[in-house]
Amino acid sequence: MALITWSSSMSVKVKEFDEHHQKLVKLLNNMHDAVEAKKGNDVIEKVLNELISYTRYHFAAEEKMFDTHKYPGTPKQKQAHADFTKKLLDFQAKFKSGNAIVDILLMNFLKSWLTTHIMGDDKQYGPFFNSKGVS
């Protein structure tokens, strides 16, 4: 069962980033499925690594567009991205060393952060980029 279901209400009205967000939702759902199915740590680690890698790729793409178009919300967005990335990398290190597990608490944190970030911070940049001809 999916942890998050993508809906049009989550659209930021920037096609590239809607596609990225959909992929992040899919990766988070894949990790949730692996945890629910009690897959081994090697499978969970692979999915976690993919989620972290794609998150970093997505944040870099957003930040490049922020800089290119001089988006006024850039500092807030970059700080949110840096804070979240640090949390993910800290968790990844703990997981690899055997000092953390991927469980429903982590899944709920990831779900909450992603949906809150998309529906809050990211939705704010849609109209700005649309006004710059980005759709």
Instruction: Confirm whether 114 is domain-assigned.
Output: yes
Both tokens of 134, joined, read: 């980005």
Write down the pTM of the prediction: 0.93
- Residue ranges making up the domain that contains 88: 13-125
The model's pLDDT over 82-125, given as tens digits with 9 standing for 90+, comes to 999 999 999 999 999 989 888 888 899 999 999 999 999 999 99
**CATH number, residue 44:** 1.20.120.50
Instruction: Confirm whether 17 is domain-assigned.
Output: yes
C-alpha 76, offset from chain centre: 16
**Run of H or E residues at 8:** none
Instruction: Specify the number of domains making up the chain.
Output: 1
Both tokens of 79, joined, read: 């700080």
Instruction: Confirm whether 55 is domain-assigned.
Output: yes
d(CA 12, CA 21): 9
Q: How many CB atoms lie within 10 A of CB 105?
A: 9
Instruction: Confirm whether 1 is domain-assigned.
Output: no
Counting residues of the chain whose pLDDT is more than 70, the rounded percentage is: 100
